[in-house]
Chain A
Amino acid sequence: MNSRLKVPMLRQGLIRQLLSPDLLAPVLVGILMLGAWELGVRISGIPPYLLPGPILVWQTLIKDWGELFPSLLITVQITIVAFIAAVVSGLLVAILFAQSKWIERSFFPYAVILQTTPIVAIAPLIIIWVRQAVPGESSTFVSLVICAWLVAFFPILSNTILGLNSADHSLLNLFQLYRSSRWQTLIYLRLPSALPYFLGGLRISGGLALIGAVVAEFVAGTGGTQSGIAYQILISSFNLQIPRMFAALLMTTVLGVAIFAGLTLLSDTLLRNWHESAVKQEN
C-alpha cells in the first residue's frame, strides 16, 4: 500500500529536485564564478603558468585525459581497497568493543592515537616498512592503501560504537525479557540501531580514504606504472604545467564529490523507510 503511494511521489520529487533552488542556486553561482574567473584572467593578462582560465583547464583535461585518467584509476583503486578495509575492520572492531566495556576502555585510546597521528608524518615510515615486507611492484600500492585505511578507519569505528550503544532502552529490556541471547540482541537490535550512525561514518570515511590516498601518494612520490593522480599533480607543479595541475585537481575533486554522493544515496536508500534523516516529510 505504501510503496504504491510512494512511487509517483518519488518521480515527481526528482523533477522538482532538479528545478529546486537547492540545486539551481549553487549551479548558478558556480557558472557566475567560472565566468568571472575566465573574464578576470583574460582582462588582467595573468600568464597561464600562474593562473589558467577555466576554459584552458578544460582543454588541458581533454588533451591530457589519456595520461591523467589511468592515474586517477590507480587512486580510485587505492581509495576503494582502503575504504573497504576500513569499513570491514571498523565494523568488526566496533562490535568487539561493544561486547565489553573493558575491551573498549583498554583499546579505544589507542584507536584515538591512531587517528590523531598525522598521516604525513608516518607515511614514510609505513612505506619503508612495507617495502621490507612486500618487495616488488605492489609494495607502493600496499603502503598507500595502509595510509588511506589509517585515515578512514576511525570515523567508522567511533560512529559504529556510538550506534551500537544507543539502542533504545525499552527495546533492550524487551529483548532481555524474552531471553534474547547476546548474539540475537546484536543482530536484531544493536546492529540495526547502529546503522544510521555507521552510514554517517561511511560518508565521512569515503572522503577521508581519498584524502589519505592522495596525501600518501604525495609522500611516496614514486613514478612508474603505479603512479596515482597525486603524482600527476606533483609532477605538473614541478614542470610549471599549471593548467594540467588544475585539471588533475578537478578530477580529484569530482571523484571526492562522487564518493560522497554515492554514499549519501546508499544511506538514503537503506534508511528510507524508517530513519528521520532519510524521511521526507511535508509540514
Chain B
Amino acid sequence: MGDLGGGSGRYFIATPLSYFWYPIGFTLPSIMSNPAITLSHISKVYANGTIALTDFNLDIGEGQFISLVGPSGCGKSTVLRMIAGLGKMSAGSIDWKLEPRKLAFVFQEAALMPWATVQDNVRLPLKLAGVSKRAASSVVAEAIALVGLQGFEGAYPRELSGGMKMRVSIARALVTQPEILLMDEPFGALDEMTRSQLNSDVLDLWLHKRWTVVFVTHNIYEAVYLSNRVIVMASRPGRVIADVAIAAPYPRTADFRSSDLYNTYCQKISHALAHVPPAAANL
C-alpha cells in the first residue's frame, strides 16, 4: 500500500492527454481577449490592521492563463479569495462578464476529506449541487481519468502521495465544468519532479478545456512556464509592480524551459521583484 505513493508521475502519462491538443493544433490562445472579470480598485484590510491589498486593478481576459507572483504577504492569495467570494473586500468592486460564475478553486493543500474515497471526494461539488450519485458517475469517472488516477477510485487520501492528492483536488475542480479556475499555490508543497509533471498536465488540461486560469505562485519559473501573462506583486502594502506578457506559443514542451526566451522572462521578473519601487506616498 505504501508503494502507491511512490512516484505519482509514473501513474500519469501525458500521452493520453496529448491527443487533445492535436485537434486544436498550435493555436495560441489569444492574450488580448474579452475580459471575463474586471477587478477595480480592490483593497483589503484585515481586522488586525494588516493591509493585504491596496488599489488592485486587473482585467482577466477570457481564456487567459494569468499567474500572480510575489513574496509572501503581497496579497496574491487574497486576490484569489476575493474573486472566489471568500471574504469581503474593504473597497473596490469585481465586475463579472461571465454569468453564471462557474468557478473552481484549487487550494494550496489538496483539502480532501480524509474519510472519503477518491471517487467521493471528486463527486463532492456535484453532491452539494444535488446531483444524484448515478447521474454524477460518468462525469466523475471522466474527471478521474483526465488527471490519470484510474484505478485509484476507491483509495483513501492517506494512501496517496502529495502529487496524487493534488490530482484528486484538480479532478474535483473539473466536475462542475468550470470556466474559471483559481489555483492558490497548488504545487508549492510538492517536489520539483512532481511539480513540473503537474505543470505540464495542467497546461494540457487548460489547452483542452479552454479555461480562464488565475494561478498564484511564488515560483517565477513555474509562472513563466505556465502563463501567457504574469502579474508581479510586492508586499507591504500588497500591490502590482509589473504586468508581463509571456509571448511564447503553446503547447510548451520541456524544450521551452531551456530556451533563451524562457530565461529572459524569468530574469525580467526576478529583476522586477528585486527592484521594487516605493509604495505610493499617500499610503
Q: Which residues of A are in contact with B by a Cβ distance under 8 Å?
A: 1-2, 5, 168, 170-171, 173-180, 184, 188-189, 192, 195, 273-275, 279, 282
B145 to chain A, nearest CB (A): 17
Residue of A nearest to B151 (CB): A1
The smallest beta-carbon distance between B45 and chain A, in angstroms, is 20
Judge whether B114 and A275 touch: CB under 8 Å.
Answer: yes
Task: Report Cα–Cα, A173/B184, bound state, in Å.
Answer: 13
B94 CB to nearest chain A CB (Å): 15
Identify the closest chain A residue to B182 (Cβ). A177
- Whether the Cβ atoms of A1 and B154 lie closer than 8 Å is yes
- Complex: how many Å from CA A179 to CA B129? 8
Asked whether, in the complex, the Cβ of B129 is within 8 Å of the Cβ of A2, the reply is: no
Please give me the residue from chain B that is nearest to A169 by CB atom: B111
Q: A188-B127, A189-B113 are in contact. Are A174 and B107 (CB under 8 A)?
A: yes
B residues less than 8 Å from A195 (CB atoms) = 115
B157 adjacent to chain A (CB < 8 Å): yes
Instruction: Knowing that A171-B113, A173-B86, A279-B158 touch, tell me 13 more A-B residue pairs with CB under 8 angstroms.
Output: A2-B1, A2-B154, A168-B111, A174-B105, A175-B128, A176-B86, A178-B125, A180-B128, A192-B115, A192-B116, A274-B156, A274-B157, A282-B2
Query: Could you tell me the distance between the alpha carbons of A282 and B113 in the complex, rounded to whole angstroms?
Result: 23
> Does B174 sit at the interface, judged by CB under 8 A?
no
**How many angstroms from the CA of A177 to the CA of B104 in the assembled complex?**
8
Residues of B near A170 (CB, < 8 A) are 107-109, 111
Name the contact of B158 in the complex, choosing from A168, A171, A177, A274 (C-beta under 8 A): A274
Q: With a CB–CB cut-off of 8 A, which chain A residues contact B125?
A: 178
Chain B hits for A174, CB < 8 A? 105, 107, 111, 124
Does B85 belong to the interface (CB within 8 Å)?
A: yes
Q: Produce 1/0 per residue, B73-116, CB < 8 A to A.
A: 00000000100111000000000000000011101110101111
Main secondary structure of the interface of A (DSSP, over half): helix
Chain B residues, CB < 8 A from A180:
128
> In the complex, which of the residues A5, A189, A192, A274 has the most CB atoms of chain B within 10 Å of its own CB atom?
A274
Chain A residues, CB < 8 A from B141:
none
Q: Given A1-B151, A1-B154, A177-B84, answer yes or no on A192-B113 (Cβ-Cβ < 8 Å).
A: yes
Q: How far is the CA of A174 from the CA of B129 in the complex (A)?
A: 13
Expressed in whole angstroms, the minimum distance between the Cβ of A177 and any Cβ of chain B is 5
A274 to B159, CA, bound (A): 9
Task: Provide the bound-state CA to CA distance between A169 and B221, in Å.
Answer: 29
| Total A-B Cβ pairs within 8 A | 62
Q: Please tell me if B155 contacts chain A, counting CB pairs below 8 Å.
A: yes
Known: A173-B86, A279-B158. A274 touches B115 (CB 8 A): yes
Shortest distance between the CB of B41 and any CB in chain A (Å): 24
User: What residue in chain A is nearest B103 (Cβ atoms)?
Assistant: A177
Q: Which of A171, A175, A184, A192 has its CB near the most chain B CB atoms (within 10 A)?
A: A171
Q: Which residues of B contact A176 (CB under 8 A)?
A: 86
Query: In the complex, what residues of A have CB within 8 A of residue B2's CB?
Result: 282
Min CB distance A175 to B, Å, is 7
Most buried by A among B85, B108, B111: B111
In the complex, which residues of chain A have a beta carbon less than 8 angstroms from the beta carbon of B116?
192
B86's partner among A177, A184, A279, A282 (CB-CB below 8 A) is A177
In the complex, A180 Cα to B127 Cα: how many Å? 10
Residues of B close to A279: CB separation below 8 A: 158
Complex CA distance for A189 and B104, rounded to whole angstroms: 18
| CB within 8 Å for A177 and B114 given contacts A1-B151, A2-B1, A274-B158 | no
B103 / chain A contacts, CB cutoff of 8 Å: 177
Cα A192 to Cα B109 in complex, Å, equals 19
A195-B111 Cα distance, complex, nearest whole Å? 18
**Chain B nearest Cβ from A258, distance in angstroms:** 28
A192 surroundings in chain B (CB, below 8 A)? 113, 115-116
- Report how far A21 CA is from B86 CA in the complex, Å: 52
22 CB contacts below 8 A, A to B, read: A1-B154, A2-B1, A2-B159, A170-B111, A171-B113, A173-B81, A173-B105, A173-B111, A174-B107, A177-B104, A177-B105, A178-B128, A178-B129, A178-B176, A184-B128, A188-B113, A188-B124, A188-B127, A195-B115, A273-B156, A274-B158, A275-B114
CB contacts (< 8 Å) of A274 on chain B: these are 114-115, 156-158
A173 and B128 in contact (CB under 8 A), knowing A2-B1, A2-B159? no
- Among B81, B124, B155, max chain A CB count under 10 A is at B124
Question: Considering the chains assembled together, what is the distance between the CA atoms of A248 and B233 in angstroms?
Answer: 74
Q: Which residues of A contact B109 (CB under 8 A)?
A: 170
User: Which B residues touch A168, using CB under 8 A?
Assistant: 111
Closest CB of chain A to B3's CB: distance in Å?
A: 10
For A179, list chain B residues within 8 Å (CB): 128
- Contact residues in A for B111 (Cβ distance below 8 Å): 168, 170-171, 173-174
Report the Cα distance A27→B273, complex, angstroms.
Answer: 66
Q: In the bound complex, what is the Cα–Cα distance between A279 and B115 (angstroms)?
A: 12
